[in-house]
Amino acid sequence: MNPGVSIVIPTVDNKQTLLECLSSVKALRYPKHDLEVIVWDNGSKDGTLEAVREYFAKHYQDGWRALKAYGSERNTGASQGRNNAFRMISPQSKYIMCLDDDVVVSPESLAILVEDMDQDPGAGIVGARIVYYDAPDKTASGAGFINWWVGKLSERDTHMLTECDYVITCGCLIRKEVLERIGGFDPDYFVYHEDVDFCVRAQRNGFKVLYEPRAIVKHKLARGKRRTNQALYYLFRNKLLLIKKNAPFLQRRISLCLYGTLWLLKVILDSIIFHRGVDWAEISIILKAVLDGLMNRTGNL
Instruction: Give the mean model confidence (pLDDT) for residues 241-255.
Output: 95
Is the pLDDT at 152 greater than 90? The verdict is: yes
Residue 71: the pLDDT is: 92
Residue 2: the pLDDT is: 92
d(CA 17, CA 10): 12
What residues does each domain of the chain span? 4-219, 229-294
Residue 243: the pLDDT is: 96
Choose the weakest-confidence range: 26-35, 195-204, 253-262. Answer: 253-262
Report residue 301's pLDDT band, with 50, 70 and 90 as the boundaries: confident
Is the pLDDT at 259 greater than 90? The verdict is: no
Phi then psi dihedrals of residue 10, to 5 deg = -85, 150
177-184: list long-range contacts, CB under 8 Å, 24+ apart: 177/124, 177/207, 178/124, 178/125, 178/202, 178/205, 178/207, 179/86, 179/96, 181/205, 181/207, 184/79, 184/82, 184/83, 184/86
User: Measuring CA to CA, how many Å separate 154 from each of 9, 140, 142, 165, 168?
Assistant: 26, 12, 9, 10, 12
User: 4-219 has which CATH code?
Assistant: 3.90.550.10
Report residue 1's pLDDT band, with 50, 70 and 90 as the boundaries: confident
Read off the pLDDT of residues 196-235 as tens digits, 9 standing for 90 and up: 999 999 999 999 999 999 999 999 987 767 889 999 999 9
High-pLDDT (> 90) share of the chain, %: 88
Which DSSP state fits 45?
S
User: pTM of the entire structure?
Assistant: 0.94
Residue 87: the pLDDT is: 95
Is the pLDDT at 178 greater than 90? The verdict is: yes
Per the CB < 8 A criterion, the answer to whether 167 and 127 are in contact is yes
3-state SS of 230-274 is HHHHHHHHHHHHHHHHHCCHHHHHHHHHHHHHHHHHHHHHHHHHH
Instruction: Give the mean model confidence (pLDDT) for residues 69-86.
Output: 93
High-pLDDT (> 70) share of the chain, %: 100
Residue 129: the pLDDT is: 98
Q: Rounded to 10 degrees, what is the CA torsion of 66, 38, 142, 239?
A: -160
d(CA 34, CA 77): 28
Q: What is the mean pLDDT of the chain?
A: 95
Report residue 3's pLDDT band, with 50, 70 and 90 as the boundaries: very high
